[in-house]
Structure formats: C-alpha cells, structure tokens
Structure 1
Amino acid sequence: MIDDTIVAIATALGEGSIGVIRISGPDAISIGHKVFQPKVNKDWYKKDNYKIIYGHVIDPTTGELIDEVLLSIMRGPKSFTAEDVIEISCHGGLVPLRRVLEVILKYGARLAEPGEFSKRAFINGRLDLAQAESIIDIIRARTDAGAKIAINQLGGKLSNKINGLQQNVLGLLAKIEAMIDFPEDDIPEENLEKMSLECMDLIREIDCLLDHANSGRIYREGLKTVIVGKPNVGKSSLLNALLQEQRAIVTDIPGTTRDIIEEVFNIKGIPLKLIDTAGLRETQDLVEKIGVEKSRELLNQADLVLLVLDASTGLSKEDIKVIDLIRDKKVLILINKIDIAENQINSKDLDSIINFSEVIEISAQKEIGLDNLEEAIFNLVVEGKITAVDSIFVSNTRHKHALERAKYHLLEASKALKEYIPADLVSIDLKSSWEILGEITGNSVTEDLIDRIFSDFCIGK
C-alpha cells in the first residue's frame, strides 16, 4: 500500500505563462488545504471531485503570499494515479515554481522520483505497463504519426492484443496440465497435433506484430539516415533542399563539410534523422580527417544510407571506395546534378552494391526529383505493407524482444507436441511464453524491471 504523498513540477522548466505543480497521495488534499488560501469556497477541500478554485499559495507559518494560482482537485480513484491529486497552476518561471514547490515539501510531501506518477497509475491498476510506457512515447513523438501510434497504445490496442495472446496460451496450458494430472487417460495423437497447430497459430500472430516492429521503432525513434559520398557531390545541397533552409554551408570547394550536421525531417509522418557527413576521402587536413572518421562511425549505425553520386563524372575511384563501405547497408542511390549534365553512370556499375533499393536521378540545387526520393524512402520504410498508423504497432524495443522470446518458447512447445515429448516439458515452455507476454503489460514482471522502465520518465510524469 502506498502511504506517502509526492509532488513535482509537471511542466517544462523555463519561462512561460503557466507552470503546473502536481501532488498525489493520501495527504494531497490536506496539504493543499494547508498551503492554499481560496478567494471564496473556503471549504473547497470537503467538496466533490473536479473543482477548480482561484486563490493564493501561502506559507502558513509566516503568512507570506507565494503566488496567485488556480487549484484543481481530483479525488481518487477518478484521477490519473487513482489517488487523490491536487494540481496547482501558478505563474511560469523558475522562481514561482520553486517557491510553491518548497512550501508543499515543507508541509508533508516528498519530491517525486522520475516517472513516479505514472508508476503509481500502474501500481494502482489505472494503466498497464504497455500503456504507461506509451506516455513517454507521446511526449517524445516527433511526428503526428508517431504520436498517433503512442495514443493508440495508451488506449490499450497493444495491451488488448497481448492479453488475447496470453489467454490463448493459458488455454493450451490448461489442456497440457490436464494431461499431467490424469496420465491414465490416453490422449489421441490428433489432439496433440491440433495443439501443435494452435501453437503455430499463435506464432503467426506474434510474427504479424514483429513484422511491424521495425516500422514502429522508426515511427517512434526516427530513421537514422546518413548522406554519404565523395567530396563535392552535393550532400549538403541535398540536406538544405530537403529541409528547405540553408542548414549546411555549400561551396564549390571540396571538403567544406568537416563536422557532422544532424536534423529531423518529416516524410509522411516518418521522422528522418538526416545526417550530413564529411566527404569520404583520404586527406591530410587534421580537422577534415576527424570528420571523415566520424562519418565512417555513423555509417555503422545507419538505418538507411543515401549515396550521392555525380552525374557528370561517372563512377570514380573515390566513389568505389565509398561503395565498399556500404555494401551491407540499405542504400538509396542518388544521381545528382542532372540539371547540368547527362547521367554518365552505367546502372551495371552499381550492381556491386548488394542492398541498394533504387536509383533516383535528382538535382539538389534545382530541387528536381526530391518527391521521388521522399516516396522511395517512405515505401522502403513501410515495405509497401502499411498504409496507416491505425494498426497495432510494436514500437518499443523491450516489447519486441519479449515477443521474440515468447515466440521461441511456443516453437519449442509445438515441436515437443509433434514429437510426443512428455507433457510436463511442454508445460514449461508454455508457462515461459505466458510469463514473457505478461512482461509487456505488467501481468508478470519484476520490481527491478518496473523501476528501470519508469526511471526513463521525466520527474513530473
């Protein structure tokens, strides 16, 4: 049972018209009664839920007026944490927020830990673990599509799917346990085969979720897209054209870009982390050399590589060296400068790039072909299978790994049933699969894991 009361600033720190301080716990209303002086409604703390009262926060010991505020009261269990909650809307800015917070701490509350409000909502049954994790995804969403996926998860779409999978695994487990409890009853072989097929049906459902997992991660975190090529092929011009601003310096002098430039660009709801790198070449310039080495490191982390080639020169030795670095990456090949020269690159020369998806002719300077590039990136991300974000997406890496582990145990159970392995061994795999699926929603999860998940949240959540 939670018997203490927590408080935290719930809005971002910095100057603003309003700042919100949130109090939650059994003493939230009594603390509010001590530090809040209403203009009217003196007995506000005795009244019903969902009231907003105008007044002032004061220090009861000194009588000092701290700030002019609005106080909101939400009684449990009809609140976010399912506890009594007070929210005080005061003037934004560090000083008024700090002073109000200090008074509340002085009269019985303690400072909340990161994510503790959401953690209490989970512990009190207001949200399951997957829903609670979606809160941080909403806050960090970079596009409307990413936010919509997170909101769907907050509404319970993923949780409902996982709960359904758990129930089906539990149904299989009940049949196996019956076989263990009544070994004298001979189970027809066709029944064992049927149970094996039921395992495979569940595996197919998990596979469907996993098929969307990579796209879900990209909607959540962004597609790390690295622009590479030899010096002076138009990498920085491409970045500027996509962003519609002069973000990178562009000159005719090779080696202008020496540092890494990273910006976020939105393509049909997909956030791209666009990274403009230093031109990949051998150089004696110390600063440029550091930039080239950093470019090589980023290539290893890239989800997608945009290889920029010069239409006017054909493939050079420098291009071939760049190609050697990206053979195992997903690559879109961009033939740039088609506004000033015909394409002199033979498509057969590009066959050595194993994972290239498409060749697109562009002019970064004249913004020709950029629509085709955006369409190609979008199609590559969704692989032509997903047209909306209303589907159930697995966007959390923890959820993906749990599904993979649950799938493994179901495969082992299916195999064991086919081979008529003793039922108690099948039971172990089915139990493991059920428990792992429960880690996603919090039905079966350790306290250490809960603490680790909520530690990633901001303090006011």
Structure 2
Amino acid sequence: MNRSYNDSTIAAISTPPGAGGIGIIRISGPASLTILRSLFTPKDKKCSYQSHRLYYGHLRDPQSGRIVDEVLTVYMAAPATYTREDVVELHCHGSHLVLGNVLELVLHAGADLADPGEFTKRAFLNGRIDLTQAEAVIDILAAKTRKGVDLAQEQLSGSLYHRIDPVRQSLARGRAVVEVAIDFPDEDVEIADHSQLIRQLEDEVVAPLEELLAGAGRGRLYREGISMVIAGLPNVGKSSLLNTLLQEERALVTPFPGTTRDSIEELIDIEGVPVKIVDTAGIRSGAEEVEELGILRARELINRADLVLFLVDGTAGLSEADRTLYREVCHKPVIAVVNKVDLCGGREFDLAQLDGLKSQVVISAKEQIGIAGLKKEIYHQVVAGNEQWEEQGCAPNFRHKVALRAALEAARRVMITLEQGLTYDLIAVDLQECLDCLSEIVGETTAEDVLDVIFQQFCLGK
C-alpha cells in the first residue's frame, strides 16, 4: 500500500469466489472512467456515462475485439462514492473464469491490483469514514450472528465516534485553560477553579471512558463468541445434546459407550452470542488406545473452554465417576445438565452436593425437553445482564480498549496533579496524552503500520 493515492487506480473482484448469478469487479481512482471506456461497448450508442446510472453492453478485449462478457456497468463520479474517488463497477456473470478474464483486462488497461482492504482504506484516508467505522466494516464481514451484525452497523453509523468526540471536546477545553496559565506565567493567571476542573474530568472524561471500557468485553463476546464444551461420562447423551442444539443430525448417536472418539465442533447462535459448541469423547478409565486419544483431547478442550456443560445421566444418578469428572472441570464456569429426564418418572434431581456448583438444568436431549431453559442459562452465564450497554449500541474492540485504558490512566493522573497543586506543565502533558489516545482510536494520529495491520484483515475487493 505504498503507492500514491492521488494518481493510482486500483481494481479487484469484490464478490466471493465460486459460481453465482453475478460477480462484480470494482475499480477506484482517476483512470476508472478511461478504463471503462476502453473496454465497454454500450448497447446505447449515445451512452453518456452519467454518474450512478446502470448501462447495458459488452466488455471486449481491446486487442482482439473479442467479447469477454455481457455486463451491466455503473460509473460513479467522485466524491459521492465509497472511496470518494471515481469508481466503476462491472456487473458480470458470476463465473470465476469470467471474472478472472475481466480483471486481467482491467489491469492491462492501467489499473493496479488492490491490496486487501484498500478500497476501505482509501475511504478512510479521503475522510469519508473514521477508523472506527472502517473497523466496523471488518466486523460486518466477519459477524457470526445477527446481533454481531447489528452492533457492527451501529459502529458503522458512527456510534463509537459520537461517544468519544464529546470526551475529546471536554479535554480540549481543559487543555486551553491550562495553556493560558503556561503562556502567561507572570500575569498571575490561575486555572479558574481546580475543584471545578476535577469535577469536569470526572463527569465528562473519566465516567464516559469507564463506561466504554465496561462495554469492551461485551463487544468481544458478540464478535468472537465463546467456546463451550459438552463433557460427561460415556453414553450420557452428549452427542444427542449437540444434535438437539444444532437441530440436525451432526454427531453419530448409538446406545454403545465410546462412540465419539474425537471432538466435533459447530457454531450456534444463542441470543446473538456465537457459541462454538464442542462434543467430546466420554471420559472414563480403561478405554482402548484410540478412545483414550479422544479422551486426552477432550481434557485439552475443557481446559481451553470458556464454559463447560457437565452432563449427567438422570436415570443412573450421580456416580462416583461423575464426581471425579466434576472435580476435573469445576475450575471452569460450569452448568450441570441432568439428561434423560423423560425416562425418570418425575424424579427430583439436586446436584447441590457438588462443591461450588451454581447452575443446574434438567433436560431430555432426545425429546427436546428443557432445551429453551438451557439456552437461557447459557446466555445468562456468558452475558450476565448489563442491558444498558446493549442499548447504547457500542462495541469497542481490543485496539480501542488499549487506547481507552491509556486515556483513562492519563485523565486520572491529571486529577491527582490538580489535587496536589503541581505544575501546569505536568497537567498539560497528561491532558495531551489523553487526547492523543482518543485521537488514535478514530484514526487522527494512528501510526501507518497500525493502519496496515487493520486493513490487511479485509478481503480483497473491500
């Protein structure tokens, strides 16, 4: 991404690989219209290439005159485009070979192949979006649930920027007052009221930053989700529970213990949270070699899991082997799940005797009894309230979290300095550091290497 953005034109395939009805080639830069004119033969000979209008015709190889594809094309004049540059889109047939041939013609006509995320990077560099909105585009493309898409859309609309900007404005006002005191030391100019400035920092800087940091973990939850392992003795119904949660026959179910030899992983959506659910081999002693390898893997997955569903056979009751296994998993957040309730004739279950157990659900995986309650308990365990944050629609990522934490620490240092009556120079330094951290989040002071890392997460053509 070292080429000049002022004079280069880029192109890429913007639709996913594979066969489809339509495939799109996107071109952005000053030569976009020239490239279009050199390749496109419009059906309407009076075609004027008005901005934001579709035109029908054919793409031809300029050297051979051969028709490459029948297309719809649109020219979009700057600045009313995604990149704020002239943009052309070629809507071709969605064949990988056709799109490859068309892209090759576009590159021969003068375009450079776009780097991953280069269209969005140009949108950012040209001021159409801030860096938080650019990152929201990544989140939309990578979202695993509808809730994840909703949060990313909120950020794309500027929700994070609009929460950070008032904090920056407050800091700027405080910095201006301090600068006056520094610039006129002989005029006995004092900051109007130290206690007032401390209250301003507490209410307008520290409190909002703390709220944003509190939401950062929740943002990660909806972006990346959690890993949940189903653990239990052989034949307690782990594979049946996996199939029921997925609503498909994903795992083999038999009446014979030890059927599952390796882990099976699938993704499910529980109230908007992406949950990677893992069915593991039943853990028991005396297993033969292949099953033992599966048991070792199950233990590794349990140690890496965010949540464990500890499954117990309700018809057999709690055995000593169950208690031993529980001691292996109880260092993790655990939901005890009593299965096969349909075969227990209304018998009551209470696993409170298991040390430290806080959550228990009774189900029948086969008959799908209690599954809705289990999902609610899973959601409660991983989310645990804070609906106010959800309404604010803001989801800081890890990069934002690091910068927010540094800004918060700098703001607190300012308050301590004010309380101790230290020099204005120290106050000014910490105020500026706080401002710089927040400016880094929105992309005003972000280093080039950091920008490259962010935009390299994109796919080609976005």
Bin for the TM-score computed over the shorter chain: over 0.9
Give the alignment partner of residue 89 of structure 1, picking from 91, 102, 105: 91
Q: Which residue of 2 aligns with 1:214?
A: 217
Q: Which residue of 2 aligns with 1:164?
A: 166
Q: What's the offset of the Cα at 1:126? A: 0.9
In structure 2, distance between residues paired with 1:303 and 1:228: 13
Identity among equivalent pairs (%): 43
Q: Which residue of 2 aligns with 1:17?
A: 21
Alignment of 1:200-211 (within 5 A): 200-201=202-203, 202-211=205-214
Q: CA RMSD in A?
A: 2.1
- SS of 1:20's partner is strand
230-239 or 7-16, which deviates more: 230-239
Instruction: Confirm or deny: 8 A CA contact 1:209 1:392 kept in the other structure.
Output: no
| Unpaired stretches in structure 1, ≥5 consecutive residues | none
Q: Which residue of 2 aligns with 1:55?
A: 57
Q: Which residue of 2 aligns with 1:421?
A: 422
Q: What's the offset of the Cα at 1:197? A: 2.9
In structure 2, distance between residues paired with 1:254 and 1:281: 10
Q: What's the offset of the Cα at 1:449? A: 0.5
331-340 or 93-102, which deviates more: 331-340
In structure 2, distance between residues paired with 1:88 and 1:445: 34
Q: Which residue of 2 aligns with 1:433?
A: 434
In structure 1, distance between residues paired with 2:150 and 2:318: 43
Instruction: Confirm or deny: 8 A CA contact 2:323 2:354 kept in the other structure.
Output: no
Q: Which residue of 2 aligns with 1:101?
A: 103
In structure 1, distance between residues paired with 2:355 and 2:229: 21
Q: What's the offset of the Cα at 1:426? A: 2.5
Q: Deviations over 1:439-461 (max 9, x none)?
A: 22101101101111000000110
**Does residue 256 of structure 2 align to residue 273 of structure 1?**
no
CA shift in 2, pair 1:302/1:204, >3 Å: farther
- SS of 1:77's partner is coil
CA shift in 2, pair 1:153/1:286, >3 Å: same
Q: Which residue of 1 aligns with 2:44?
A: 40
Give the alignment partner of residue 4 of structure 1, picking from 3, 8, 15: 8
Q: Deviations over 1:148-206 (max 9, x none)?
A: 11111111111111222222222222233233223443647x92233233333222212
In structure 2, distance between residues paired with 1:428 and 1:324: 52
CA shift in 2, pair 1:266/1:81, >3 Å: same
CA shift in 2, pair 1:112/1:231, >3 Å: same
In structure 2, distance between residues paired with 1:289 and 1:200: 57
Question: Which amino acid in 1 is paired with 2:127?
Answer: G
**Does residue 266 of structure 2 align to residue 259 of structure 1?**
no
Instruction: Confirm or deny: 8 A CA contact 1:311 1:344 kept in the other structure.
Output: no
Q: Deviations over 1:236-263 (max 9, x none)?
A: 1111111111111122322221212111
Q: Deviations over 1:60-83 (max 9, x none)?
A: 111111111111110111000000
Instruction: Confirm or deny: 8 A CA contact 1:262 1:275 kept in the other structure.
Output: yes
Q: Deviations over 1:3-29 (max 9, x none)?
A: 100000000111111100000001011
- SS of 1:348's partner is coil
Q: Which residue of 1 aligns with 2:75?
A: 73
- SS of 1:8's partner is strand
In structure 2, distance between residues paired with 1:125 and 1:209: 24
CA shift in 2, pair 1:345/1:109, >3 Å: same
Alignment of 1:211-360 (within 5 A): 211-341=214-344, 346-353=350-357, 356=358, 358-360=359-361
Question: Which amino acid in 1 is paired with 2:381?
Answer: L
In structure 2, distance between residues paired with 1:279 and 1:40: 69
Instruction: Confirm or deny: 8 A CA contact 1:145 1:389 kept in the other structure.
Output: no
Q: Which residue of 1 aligns with 2:384?
A: 383
Instruction: Confirm or deny: 8 A CA contact 1:215 1:381 kept in the other structure.
Output: no
Instruction: Confirm or deny: 8 A CA contact 1:39 1:54 kept in the other structure.
Output: yes
Instruction: Confirm or deny: 8 A CA contact 1:115 1:458 kept in the other structure.
Output: yes
Instruction: Confirm or deny: 8 A CA contact 2:160 2:396 kept in the other structure.
Output: no
Q: Which residue of 1 aligns with 2:113?
A: 111
CA shift in 2, pair 1:285/1:166, >3 Å: farther
341-350 or 308-317, which deviates more: 341-350
Alignment of 1:114-133 (within 5 A): 114-133=116-135
- SS of 1:103's partner is helix
Instruction: Confirm or deny: 8 A CA contact 1:219 1:395 kept in the other structure.
Output: no
In structure 1, distance between residues paired with 2:119 and 2:286: 54
- SS of 2:435's partner is helix
Count of aligned positions:
455
Q: What's the offset of the Cα at 1:284? A: 4.6
Question: Which amino acid in 1 is paired with 2:131?
Answer: L
Instruction: Confirm or deny: 8 A CA contact 1:260 1:277 kept in the other structure.
Output: yes
- SS of 1:257's partner is coil
CA shift in 2, pair 1:350/1:118, >3 Å: same
Instruction: Confirm or deny: 8 A CA contact 2:215 2:389 kept in the other structure.
Output: no
Instruction: Confirm or deny: 8 A CA contact 1:264 1:274 kept in the other structure.
Output: yes
In structure 1, distance between residues paired with 2:161 and 2:96: 38
In structure 2, distance between residues paired with 1:283 and 1:381: 35
Q: TM-score, normalised by structure 2?
A: 0.92
- SS of 1:439's partner is helix
| Unpaired stretches in structure 2, ≥5 consecutive residues | none
389-398 or 259-268, which deviates more: 389-398
In structure 2, distance between residues paired with 1:310 and 1:350: 15
Q: Deviations over 1:248-294 (max 9, x none)?
A: 11223222212121112122322222111222334553332332232
- SS of 1:315's partner is coil
Q: What's the offset of the Cα at 1:30? A: 0.4
Q: Which residue of 2 aligns with 1:153?
A: 155
